[in-house]
Amino acid sequence: MGAPPHNAPPHNAPPSHQGLELAGVGVRFGGLTALDDVSLTVPPRRIVGVIGPNGAGKTTVFNVICGFVVPHTGTLTLGGRPLRPAPHRLSRAGIARTLQGVGLFAGLTLAENVMTGARARSGFVSSLLATPRAARDERRLRTEAVALLDSLDIARYADALPATLPYAIQKKAGLARALAARPHLLLLDEPAGGLGAEEIDELAALIRDLPASAGTAVLLVEHHMDLVMSVCDEIVVLDFGRVVATGTPDQVRGDPAVAAAYLGTEAIAPGDAGPVPDSGDARPPAGGPTGGATTAGRPPDPPPGGPGDGVVALR
Ligand SMILES: Nc1ncnc2c1ncn2[C@@H]1O[C@H](COP(=O)(O)OP(=O)(O)OP(=O)(O)O)[C@@H](O)[C@H]1O
């Protein structure tokens, strides 16, 4: 898998990007505390993972950064400036996101989907005008889109509709669309979901390469522990909406608080966790009416072996 072909800064990005910082962020949904005093930093061109058992607050962190959820406490800064996120302004702030599923536009080809990512950067209005310049811009965007698809080894599918293609190809196209916005910060929401072991290895290599090849920092939410441990410079561990550990993969792997959050008393080792079915609401809500942070009520360890090895998610 090749490197995305652009090192240029985003057209509309802030001139100096010193990374993303969340400080003391708290989110409540009614009586439920989803995030409690969460602080984390994603420095430029670094890969930071956010892990934690189901319901720990990982997606809520993403939703705060994207402006889908407004925190009741705390601050966000991007490049040293206050960030007041709004979903429609993300691209202009230099942030792009992939979705947990695929989220491609079903009626557009892969190339056209990727072009929508680039248009988020350059503006939709010019593309609607039937001027010679707009036509030139469209040709340029298509060339860029196909080059991006090529960098992910899927250019041959440029003119295919998503539904006609295997899931792994669609996921790569979703990544290409996010990269087309030339983000300084890329939010990857469970990118390994639905992929096989070989595809995950390929994905890991690609993610590891992104800071150098695309000039972007990465914030990764992922249950697949082998992937997280192999690509992240730093990992933030959430449990019941609170940060229980921050450190390098090795530091986090040996941290008793992390072991307690995930495995009762066992430490995390790459590939040592068997399949863990997502049992939905088995876990009490974070900071909920019953008093919040406790390791009680965790489900029993899952049986070893079988599909999904390497996924650590105590549900
Ligand atoms: N819109 C919402 N309204 C009410 N509660 C919510 C909402 N979004 C999340 N929650 C609750 O907030 C808590 C944190 O949820 P979140 O989805 O952030 O966890 P997560 O770590 O991403 O979990 P998973 O690994 O299952 O995706 C959970 O208890 C969840 O039920």
In testing the pocket of ligand 1, which one of 59, 222, 235, 262 has its CB within 8 Å of the most ligand atoms?
59
Query: What pLDDT is recorded for position 216?
Result: 93
Distance 252 CA to ligand 1 centre (A): 23
* 81-82 vs 73-78, strand pairing mode: antiparallel
Distance 248 CA to ligand 1 centre (A): 25
Check pocket membership of 282 for ligand 1, CB cut-off 6 A: no
DSSP secondary structure, 249-297, as one string? HHHHHT-HHHHHHHHTTPPP-TT--------GGGSPPTT-TT-S--STT
Tokens of 191: 């990118």
In testing the pocket of ligand 1, which one of 58, 236, 239 has its CB within 8 Å of the most ligand atoms?
58
Helix (H) or strand (E) holding 38: strand 32-42
DSSP code of residue 299: P
Question: Where do the CATH 3.40.50.300 domains begin and end in the chain?
Answer: 29-94+182-315
- This model of the complex carries an ipTM of 0.97
Check pocket membership of 60 for ligand 1, CB cut-off 6 A: yes
Are the C-beta atoms of residues 119 and 141 closer than 8 Å to each other?
Answer: yes
Check pocket membership of 56 for ligand 1, CB cut-off 6 A: yes
Cα–Cα distance measured from residue 94 to residue 208, given in angstroms and rounded to the nearest whole number: 19
- Ligand 1 atom closest to 221 (CA): 22
> What parts of the chain have a pLDDT lower than 50?
1-16, 265-267, 272-315
Query: What pLDDT is recorded for position 12?
Result: 45
Distance 199 CA to ligand 1 centre (A): 28
Q: How many CB atoms lie within 10 A of CB 301?
A: 13
Residue nearest to atom 2 of ligand 1 (CA): 29
Query: What pLDDT is recorded for position 87?
Result: 73
CATH class of 29-94+182-315: alpha beta
